[in-house]
Chains A and B, each alone.
Chain A
Amino acid sequence: MKPAPTLSTAFLRPAGQSLPEPLLALRKQRGTALVDMPLPTRKTENWKYSSKYLKLTDDMAISLPADGKAGSSLAVPGYKVVFLNGVMMPEASEYPDLDGISIQSFGDLSDEEATELADRLDSTLDNKAVQMARLNSARFEDGLLIRLKPDAVLDQPLFIVHEVTASASGSAFPRVFVDAGRNSQITLVEEYISSGSETVMVNTVTEFNVAEGANITSVRLNMEGENVQHIGATGVRQQRSSRFESHCVGFGGPLRRHDLQVRLEGEGAECKLNGVVVTQGKQHYDNHTNIEHVAAHCNSEETYRNIAADQSHAVFNGRIHIHQDAQKSNADMNNKNLLLSNGAEIDTKPELEIYADDVKCAHGATIGQLDEISLFYLVSRGIGRREANVLLTMAFINELVEQIPVEAVRETAQTRLNQFFDQTFEEA
């Protein structure tokens, strides 16, 4: 039998050293644990449909240098933090200067702060389920620590622009850690973009610790190029009566993987997870979500939509785990999929594990094509075929796009969607 492939040791060579000592130590320890780490294969359950898209070559092992200029293509209004190849760029950033909100680069932390952070990094994620997130912990060069004091409210969204410049092969390991105090509020927008055309990997981890009564909105927009393999994980821990709302919008690529893990640990916590994925050409996109109902009286609501054109491949795996003590849990998961061509593939799998007896749990998944009768109805009114296709495709995701609470993101997404429609639906 062929031995299972392991992560090449090239990926475990020491990286840049400009971090406080406690974080360097943590990174080293995480790296050591990765020796002989098996890479996902077809037989790895949670990579079953996606392992074939993961193509890590040794020349991608090097950290992309953060010496370029951050040429963010996004005209981002208001507060922003720009990462270039996983390293924060203060001069391109615009930090809020508000009481109760601190925004720091990992590199600027005191040893004391860094020790505290090192203790908490990875604590929102189930490392077994998100193997590849461990690589980020072994390799991050920098990171963003956002701390909100109790009752602190950020008055407008904070954009985090994760840009990679792929003028050579390599990888970037952006890291974000959010510590939201009691009753604090923030809207965070993470945008992933790229320039250049060499083969690169973006391996990213974002963690949210949401204290009692805090209200967090996370928007994630993936618009990286055709040369970027993206493996991202988001971990969330929610305490009593907190709310976490997530809006993920992603366009496909050679490999796109996002794991979103939410733990509802305090009574009355609720989360709402929305997702829209659009793939075309030979692109791929894989969303894995996991909601852990640990405490009683929590609500989760999840709505994901995939649209796959051409020969592209979209995957959705939604797990809901209701623990034994999580009585009166309310979980609702819905995944609908639209195939725009016979060559496209969509795999969807809801996974429910329920160990409490007094819960409400609903789930549904469908895969379909544009409805011929609806199409006929529209064109019978003189509407062109292309336009009719666009109307029906937008109808499939409208509700989710409209719910994105940040106008600039809705606009960026719509522009990219229009481009997708131009490429997918021919003029009659």
Chain B
Amino acid sequence: MLSIKNLHASVEGKEILKGINLEIKAGEVHAIMGPNGSGKSTLSQVLAGNEAFEVTSGEVTLNGENLLDLETEERAREGIFLAFQYPVEIPGVSNLQFLRTAVNAMRAHKGEPEMNAAEFMKLAKEVSKQVDLDPAFLKRGVNEGFSGGEKKRNEIMQALLLQPKLAILDETDSGLDIDALQVVSKGVNALRAEDRAILMVTHYQRLLNHIVPDHVHVLAGGKIVKSGGRELALELEERGYGWLGIKDEETADSSAN
């Protein structure tokens, strides 16, 4: 489904991604782990098409189609979804209006008729229950004044509404308490499907207790330095990143706790 070959990217002239290679097949769940600053969010943002990051070389294809040639909105319509590490607050645009506009943009792309306000309201209420978000949130500005956990649930809600082919979840587990983590995990597991791939980006492995990945990759210094199965995540939890020759005090600390 997704194929990344020798991807290099930089921001403000500084190279962050230094040759990423990754193959993800439909139905698979991949986890990318790595210390802070290793380039996880950069990779996520580059895949979604954030122009603040410049791709200097390499190739990314989605089902054989060159992804890097597409605008952000075209990528989204082709099935790329990014759950942001830091979801954006947009006062003045209601969450409901935002979600309906997005869903209808996708439907228009597929040649499906628009959903009217009433139809959409019904759908949105159902999905908001799935992520345990009070429908009152639909009336508020996009992420406006949402707590960290509410923002993350709103991201998962969007994924459930937009039904992407590839969902990239950038630290969707960070800042969640145990209950919220359960809710989010349930939402992510609901996304799992034969024809869908999930790329989970995370600093810790605790989300992986709930959503079991098929493959785990370690990103460090802008490169994937190790790949393996589920057990790699457990090993990282036990031993920190140090045994891979990677410096990451924060993770070493947290695993010692």
Q: A309-345 vs B: 1/0 string, CB under 8 Å?
A: 0000000000000000000000000000000000000
The residue of chain B having its C-beta at the shortest distance from the C-beta of A397 within the complex is B92
Q: A369-389 vs B: 1/0 string, CB under 8 Å?
A: 000111011111111110110
Q: Given A374-B88, A374-B90, A428-B71, answer yes or no on A380-B82 (Cβ-Cβ < 8 Å).
A: yes
Residues of B within 8 A of A47 (CB): none
Q: A399: which of B51, B87, B92 is its contact (CB, 8 Å)?
A: B92
Q: Given A395-B90, A395-B93, answer yes or no on A377-B101 (Cβ-Cβ < 8 Å).
A: no
Task: State whether A392 touches B71 (Cβ < 8 A).
Answer: no
Assembled-state Cα–Cα distance A428/B70 (Å): 12
Residues of A within 8 A of B249 (CB): none
In the complex, chain B residues 45-68 whose Cβ is within 8 Å of any chain A Cβ = 48-52
Q: Given A391-B97, A428-B71, A428-B73, answer yes or no on A381-B90 (Cβ-Cβ < 8 Å).
A: no
Q: Given A391-B93, A391-B98, answer yes or no on A382-B88 (Cβ-Cβ < 8 Å).
A: no
Residues of A within 8 A of B109 (CB): 382
In the complex, chain A residues 167-218 whose Cβ is within 8 Å of any chain B Cβ = none
Interface extent on A, as a size class? Answer: 20 to 34
Task: State whether A379 touches B72 (Cβ < 8 A).
Answer: yes
Assembled-state Cα–Cα distance A233/B179 (Å): 60
Task: State whether B90 touches A377 (Cβ < 8 A).
Answer: yes
Q: B88: which of A373, A384, A394 is its contact (CB, 8 Å)?
A: A373
Task: State whether A392 touches B93 (Cβ < 8 A).
Answer: yes
Task: State whether A385 touches B71 (Cβ < 8 A).
Answer: yes
B77 touches A (CB below 8 Å): yes
In the complex, chain B residues 202-245 whose Cβ is within 8 Å of any chain A Cβ = none
A415 touches B (CB below 8 Å): no
Residues of A within 8 A of B158 (CB): 381
Task: State whether B105 touches A382 (Cβ < 8 A).
Answer: yes
Q: B77: which of A378, A382, A399 is its contact (CB, 8 Å)?
A: A382
The residue of chain B having its C-beta at the shortest distance from the C-beta of A398 within the complex is B92
Q: Given A387-B101, A391-B97, answer yes or no on A380-B49 (Cβ-Cβ < 8 Å).
A: yes
Residues of A within 8 A of B75 (CB): 380
Task: State whether B162 touches A381 (Cβ < 8 A).
Answer: yes
Assembled-state Cα–Cα distance A387/B98 (Å): 11
Residues of A within 8 A of B49 (CB): 380
The residue of chain B having its C-beta at the shortest distance from the C-beta of A372 within the complex is B52
Residues of A within 8 A of B92 (CB): 392, 394-396, 398-399
Q: B102: which of A383, A395, A398 is its contact (CB, 8 Å)?
A: A383
B37 touches A (CB below 8 Å): no
Residues of B within 8 A of A382 (CB): 73, 76-77, 102, 105-106, 109, 162
The residue of chain B having its C-beta at the shortest distance from the C-beta of A377 within the complex is B88
The residue of chain B having its C-beta at the shortest distance from the C-beta of A384 within the complex is B73
CB distance from B45 to the nearest CB of A (A): 9
Interface extent on B, as a size class? Answer: 20 to 34
Q: How many inter-chain residue pairs (CB < 8 Å) link A and B?
A: 77
Residues of A within 8 A of B97 (CB): 391
Q: Given A391-B93, A395-B93, A399-B92, answer yes or no on A381-B87 (Cβ-Cβ < 8 Å).
A: no
Task: State whether A380 touches B93 (Cβ < 8 A).
Answer: no
Assembled-state Cα–Cα distance A395/B90 (Å): 8
B91 touches A (CB below 8 Å): yes
Residues of A within 8 A of B48 (CB): 376, 380
Q: B101: which of A373, A391, A396, A398 is its contact (CB, 8 Å)?
A: A391
Q: B76-101 vs A: 1/0 string, CB under 8 Å?
A: 11000110100110111100011001
Residues of B within 8 A of A383 (CB): 73, 98, 101-102, 105
In the complex, chain A residues 414-428 whose Cβ is within 8 Å of any chain B Cβ = 428
Task: State whether B93 touches A377 (Cβ < 8 A).
Answer: no
The residue of chain B having its C-beta at the shortest distance from the C-beta of A395 within the complex is B92
In the complex, chain B residues 136-151 whose Cβ is within 8 Å of any chain A Cβ = 141-142
Assembled-state Cα–Cα distance A181/B71 (Å): 61
Q: A384: which of B81, B87, B105 is its contact (CB, 8 Å)?
A: B105
Q: A392-407 vs B: 1/0 string, CB under 8 Å?
A: 1011101100000000
Q: B105: which of A377, A381, A396 is its contact (CB, 8 Å)?
A: A381
Task: State whether A381 touches B88 (Cβ < 8 A).
Answer: no
Q: B27-44 vs A: 1/0 string, CB under 8 Å?
A: 000000000000000000
CB distance from A349 to the nearest CB of B (A): 25
Assembled-state Cα–Cα distance A385/B72 (Å): 9
User: In this complex, which of B82, B84, B93, B106 has the most chain A Cβ atoms within 10 angstroms of its Cβ?
Assistant: B93
User: In this complex, which of B71, B73, B106, B162 has the most chain A Cβ atoms within 10 angstroms of its Cβ?
Assistant: B73
Task: State whether A380 touches B76 (Cβ < 8 A).
Answer: yes
Assembled-state Cα–Cα distance A194/B33 (Å): 64
Residues of A within 8 A of B82 (CB): 380
The residue of chain A having its C-beta at the shortest distance from the C-beta of B142 within the complex is A377
Residues of A within 8 A of B77 (CB): 382
Residues of B within 8 A of A395 (CB): 90-93, 141
Task: State whether B72 touches A376 (Cβ < 8 A).
Answer: yes
Residues of B within 8 A of A396 (CB): 92
Assembled-state Cα–Cα distance A253/B201 (Å): 52
Residues of A within 8 A of B71 (CB): 379, 385, 428
Q: Can you list 26 A-B contacts with CB-CB less than 8 angstroms, sorted by A residue number?
A: A373-B88, A374-B88, A374-B90, A376-B48, A376-B50, A376-B72, A377-B87, A377-B88, A377-B142, A378-B90, A379-B73, A380-B49, A380-B50, A380-B76, A380-B82, A381-B76, A381-B158, A382-B77, A382-B105, A384-B73, A384-B105, A385-B71, A391-B90, A392-B90, A395-B91, A395-B92
Given contacts A380-B48, A382-B73, A388-B73, 14 further A-B contacts (CB under 8 A): A374-B88, A374-B90, A376-B50, A376-B72, A377-B84, A379-B73, A380-B73, A381-B162, A382-B76, A385-B71, A387-B101, A395-B93, A398-B92, A428-B73
Interface residues of A, Cβ cutoff 8 Å to B: 372-374, 376-385, 387-388, 391-392, 394-396, 398-399, 428
Interface residues of B, Cβ cutoff 8 Å to A: 48-52, 71-73, 75-77, 81-82, 84, 87-88, 90-93, 97-98, 101-102, 105-106, 109, 141-142, 158, 162
Which 5 interchain pairs have the tightest Cβ spacing?
A395-B92, A382-B76, A381-B102, A377-B88, A379-B73
